[in-house]
Structure 1
Amino acid sequence: MAGTSATKRHRGSKSRSEDEILYDRELEDLPPELRWREWMLRVEAVIFASAEPVTREMLARVVGKDCSVDLLIDDLREELSSRPYGLVSVAGGWQHRTRVRFGETIRASSAPTRGGAAALSEFEAMVLMSVGYFQPVTRGELSKIFGKEVSRDTIGALRAAGFISSGPRSPTPGAPYTYVTTKHFLSAFSMETLRDLPDIEALEDAGLLSREVVQAELLSAAPDGDEE
């Protein structure tokens, strides 16, 4: 039996190795122009099929080792410039996105769309924004920011939508959970990194946020000790 298992493992390893050999990344049998075109099509196919932003490392698996993924993306963007959708950089990768000016048309059609941001209440959106700016942050600290309790239901709704997840335990007494934003948060709101969040000074000018008040509240926040 042991010998049979070893044989199966050996055959499985051989099969995987053969698959890697059979998949031709380099396309050396093609002239340069056709090779580049095929790489472009491969990259576009992977991005089109993926439900999440596709990273450079993923795309590098389907093109030649000396191929520049960035140059391929540039050529694809140029090719799609006249289309109602294009390639955007979000959450550390690339994704197809419909152009903004067609948003009203898509809404009018009532066609089901994939991805995007889940519908949030105004308060949930404000809590999510605060997590984005002040993460890792506890529920108790968020409650201090808003001057009222941020309920577990609010946190649960943001977690269920995939916008936040648990961060490290807070070093404060009781070691409550902290919360941080996710890659889905970046993708849903078309951001490459958290540096793309709206400038906090603009929010202050609009009267939506006071940095001094928030920082003071965070320093004086007393965690509940039983946060989730």
Structure 2
Amino acid sequence: MNLNDPAQLAVLLEAYLLAAGRPLSLERLGELFDEAERPPPARLRDALAILARSCQGRAFELKEVASGYRLQVRERFAPWVGRLWEERPQRYSRALLETLALIAYRQPISRGEIEEVRGVAVSSNIVKTLQERDWIRVVGYREVPGRPALFATTRAFLDDFNLKNLDELPPLAVLRSLEPAPGILDEEELQPSGPQALAEPAEQVSFRSLLAELDSMEQGLKTDFDDLPEPEGEDPGDAGRERAADES
């Protein structure tokens, strides 16, 4: 195989990506070659461009996400491909999605700040679910009494939502069209937060009003996580996994 030929190199990269089954960064792809034959990054990009064009008209595409490049089934085939798995896709509550949206658009943010915007308590199960999905992580602590944890999204969040960086998040104006029908409250929304919890019923929070408040925060979104501080007392295992994700 002539690795100096981008067309032949594209075929080899296709094999790498199919075998990996996960995103591979440009650096990781380069590491898969012996040093003497390693293509320069520019040639790798040329080969990836050829591979992307070769996917046109096929059921799969080459997609660049936060962790690198991956081959994936095109979204329009999801209704049919999903039949391969008997288990139904997990559905998430509006409260969970609102919490995730707040973290994505206003990170880093504390649980108390999320509750202040939503007007209701954030269920511990919501935070646990988002962390178990590896969509959010603790990136530091607010220097105020109690030192509340600060949450931010992860590379896995970007990968799972087909995003290269946070700049690719849809504008908040677009998300307003996704407001659910009025009159539907999640169980978590029936738990008011703060001193009012003992005296006043919870006020319904509409997705439209939530996104309207977030609209002023749309500018200046973070596009990487390199400058986020590591939380004190972080589990060494978590730190190791983060480093492994970065290296890949």
TM-score, scaled relative to structure 1: 0.70
Structure with more helix by fraction: 1
How far does residue 121 in structure 1 lie from its aligned partner after superposition? 1.9
How far does residue 92 in structure 1 lie from its aligned partner after superposition? 4.2
Cα separation, 1, equivalents of 2:90 and 2:166: 19
Q: Of residues 50, 71, 95 in structure 2, which corresponds to 1:96?
A: 71
Distance 1:134 1:142, change over 3 A: same
The alignment partner of 1:41 has SS state of helix
Q: Which residue of 2 aligns with 1:65?
A: 39
**Structure 2 unaligned blocks of 5 or more:** 180-207, 218-248
Matched, 1:47 2:40: no
The alignment partner of 1:130 has SS state of helix
Q: Does the Cα contact within 8 Å between 1:52 and 1:95 map onto a contact in 2? A: yes
Q: Does the Cα contact within 8 Å between 2:25 and 2:67 map onto a contact in 1? A: yes
Question: Counterpart amino acid of 2:162?
Answer: S
Cα separation, 2, equivalents of 1:88 and 1:102: 15
Q: Of residues 159, 182, 201 in structure 1, which corresponds to 2:131?
A: 159
Q: Does the Cα contact within 8 Å between 1:145 and 1:214 map onto a contact in 2? A: no
Q: How does 1:9-28 map to 2 (within 5 A)?
A: none
Q: Of residues 68, 80, 86 in structure 1, which corresponds to 2:61?
A: 86
Greater mean deviation of Cα atoms: 127-136 or 95-104: 95-104
How far does residue 211 in structure 1 lie from its aligned partner after superposition? 2.5
CA RMSD of aligned residues (A): 2.6
Q: Which residue of 1 aligns with 2:182?
A: none
Question: Counterpart amino acid of 2:145?
Answer: P
How far does residue 61 in structure 1 lie from its aligned partner after superposition? 1.9
Q: How many residues of Structure 1 are paired with residues of Structure 2 in the alignment?
A: 180
Deviation string, structure 1 residues 32-54 (Cα, Å, up to 9, x no partner) = 54xx4442233112222234321
Q: Does the Cα contact within 8 Å between 1:204 and 1:211 map onto a contact in 2? A: no
Deviation string, structure 1 residues 119-147 (Cα, Å, up to 9, x no partner) = 42222111111110011111111111110
Q: Does the Cα contact within 8 Å between 2:7 and 2:50 map onto a contact in 1? A: no
Q: Of residues 101, 107, 110 in structure 2, which corresponds to 1:138?
A: 110
Matched, 1:210 2:183: no
How far does residue 78 in structure 1 lie from its aligned partner after superposition? 1.4
The alignment partner of 2:122 has SS state of coil
Cα separation, 1, equivalents of 2:9 and 2:20: 17
The higher relative CO (CA closer than 8 Å, separation ≥ 6) is in 2
Kindly name which structure, 1 or 2, has the bigger radius of gyration based on alpha carbons.
1
How far does residue 159 in structure 1 lie from its aligned partner after superposition? 0.6
How far does residue 84 in structure 1 lie from its aligned partner after superposition? 0.2
Q: Which residue of 1 aligns with 2:100?
A: 128
Cα separation, 2, equivalents of 1:37 and 1:214: 46
Deviation string, structure 1 residues 43-77 (Cα, Å, up to 9, x no partner) = 11222223432111011123533361111111111
Distance 1:56 1:178, change over 3 A: same
How far does residue 100 in structure 1 lie from its aligned partner after superposition? 2.0
Distance 1:213 1:57, change over 3 A: closer
TM-score, scaled relative to structure 2: 0.64
Distance 1:118 1:43, change over 3 A: farther
How far does residue 213 in structure 1 lie from its aligned partner after superposition? 9.2
Q: Does the Cα contact within 8 Å between 1:39 and 1:62 map onto a contact in 2? A: no
Cα separation, 1, equivalents of 2:111 and 2:91: 21
The alignment partner of 1:48 has SS state of helix
Deviation string, structure 1 residues 164-190 (Cα, Å, up to 9, x no partner) = 111111122211111111111101111
